[in-house]
A and B are shown apart, each in its own frame.
Chain A
């Protein structure tokens, strides 16, 4: 036995009571609900749409036609979501291209320009607007926005109509992807703005102050510190908006003319949208077509899930301060 006492580090062991174990079990079950629900959605849509994937295989993604056949078991049917899928992406991209610059402007204004009171007021308005239901956007978009956008579309077509994107086969500008895209850009602005704003507000204050101290202007500080810092957050916010735009149904349904043909003339009155396809055809679908809609739903689900997962990963990373 030595004289120096042996220092013993006692390991902390947690002894959980029975109540604790039950409680933790219940909370874990609650936490895993999201996993269960997401898997169930995928499983059931796959199960319901399985026949479609079996019958059409990969061509379900490359065919534009939507013909559910002459009877309930789909004789002579030819179905595919190519036009709808491309239409969805085109509209969502239009929405993003318009919404992102405004989201940057509004976030910068709220964080670095607006006086405190105005900022609080605008933030409250932003939160409120984010909760306006899509059916109201739809009715407003149809009645108020569309006539205006048709005017813009005509002007665009007059001046840059030689460019394939802005040319039209016939001078009908109502219910075009352009109209739907602009409406969606207004709808996704709140969510995109709230993400970019969150990221911009975390820009290192000391670096901005350093920019001022070196004689930089406010814009100088923003350009050299805030914008580079927030770049990945901006991408994440834009992608979250993209996910929303891809999944939006009712508003698009009301302002878009669904045509089962891939159309990249964004000003012309013919577009595609997976979600609207489901809403349009659901009511009068035959059994076989219903399966097609389930398959289309699965495609949409997977697409939005991928976009959202990437967006979430980017936002989470940038929120931790990595640039």
Chain B
């Protein structure tokens, strides 16, 4: 072996971004010790089950990391404990969320069969077996009501954003503030309002259109806020260039600014839809629920997925509750699809 070979073998690139061995071993040691401690606590005390073990694990991790840190310094100990606590908080919030998704998927999939999406409940009682009946009426109803709500609130929402960002009129600040305040209107209050106006005064019966109006009240702030954020991203140069070419404000806004952020505005609309797709309370006061398929906007109540779920839950028998889970799953899938759509559209970047 020559000397040169030996040297060549020993030259290694430094990797300052890699965690030093000491850190890795500390983390592993804390993890193992806490896990063991967790088992010990569960075995010795009243804590039980996976959740009990998790609590004990976090508790032990805090203690162990404090001790481990004390080998170095007080500052290091505080840092380690903070890291463990913050990481534990992030991990903890995932528990209810994953439980929710898991429960809805596992319980909901039990009742879904091929006819689920093509039948309604007009000849099926909530208690019937799971091979009859379905939610086609509720899906269609949800889509109809959401579409109308979108048609109402998207133009107004975008106009509101244009007023704040493009027009910059006298009331800009107030409009922004009110839009934000409006996003906090309780959904049941929106329902009560539409009930006391459209349902009692105008149509004199529960109807789908009223439901759409109630939802559009809830949707408007989301659309307006998101559109405003998106419009703010348009570079000022673009507007100046358009004005310099002699364009009026109308054509600058309609032909330059808005097309630039087209995909962003679509995202705003989709986020608004996702916000209202699952609203139940306002619909109970406006569009109510109907067991059969209907496209009548003003003369009859209309079924929606949230009210279908809620109604079956209220019936409370075993099969009805199972159907409620099915409705939940269908609703959840619908909303997730909308979200994927929003992400895809947003990810495409700003239009041409």
Contacts and interface: CB of A to CB of B under 8 A. Distances in A.
B86 interface: yes
A24, A132, A240: most-surrounded residue (chain B CB, <10 A):
A132
Contacts of B82: 218-219, 222-223
Contacts of B157: 30
Contacts of B293: none
B178 A132 contact: no
Interface string B268-279: 000000110111
Contacts of A26: 159
B106 to A, nearest CB: 11
Interface stretch (B92-100, B132-140, B232-240): B92-100
Contacts of B76: 217
Question: Contact residue range for chain B?
Answer: 35 or more
B178 to A, nearest CB: 4
Contact of A134 (B93, B180, B280, B332): B280
A226 to B, nearest CB: 11
B190 interface: yes
Nearest to A189: B93
Contacts of A136: 100, 104, 278, 309, 328, 331-332
A139 B189 contact: no
A17 B188 contact: no
Interface string B95-117: 01101100110010000000000
A133 B279 contact: yes
A157 interface: no
Contacts of A301: 185-186, 189
Nearest to B183: A308
Main secondary structure of the interface of A (DSSP, over half): helix
Contacts of B20: none
Given A34-B178, A309-B181, A300 B189 contact: yes
Interface string B163-182: 11011010110110111111
B275 A297 contact: no
A278 interface: yes
B75 A217 contact: yes
A170 interface: no
A266 B102 CA distance: 29
A32 B46 contact: no
Contact of B159 (A31, A128, A304): A31
Contact of B96 (A31, A122, A128, A145): A145
A321 B51 CA distance: 40
Contacts of A56: none
A250 B171 CA distance: 35
A216 interface: yes
B281 A250 contact: yes
Contacts of B131: none
B171 A28 contact: yes
B196 interface: yes
A190 to B, nearest CB: 9
Nearest to B48: A151
Interface of B: 46, 51, 75-76, 78-79, 81-83, 85-90, 92-94, 96-97, 99-100, 103-104, 107, 155-160, 162-164, 166-167, 169, 171-172, 174-175, 177-190, 192-193, 196-197, 217, 220-221, 224, 248-250, 253, 274-275, 277-281, 284-285, 306, 309-310, 313, 321, 324-325, 328, 331-332, 335-336, 339, 343
Closest 5 CB pairs of A and B: A133-B278, A30-B159, A105-B89, A247-B186, A31-B163
Given A128-B339, A133-B280, 14 more contacts: A37-B220, A41-B185, A105-B88, A135-B278, A135-B280, A136-B104, A136-B278, A143-B103, A143-B321, A217-B76, A247-B185, A275-B186, A300-B188, A305-B181
Interface of A: 16-17, 19-20, 22-24, 26-35, 37-38, 40-41, 44-45, 47-48, 101-102, 104-106, 108-110, 113-114, 122, 124-125, 127-129, 131-140, 142-145, 148, 155, 186, 189, 216-220, 222-223, 240, 243-244, 246-250, 254, 275, 278-279, 282, 293-294, 297, 300-301, 304-305, 307-309, 311-313, 316
6 contacts: A32-B171, A34-B220, A106-B93, A138-B313, A297-B188, A300-B186
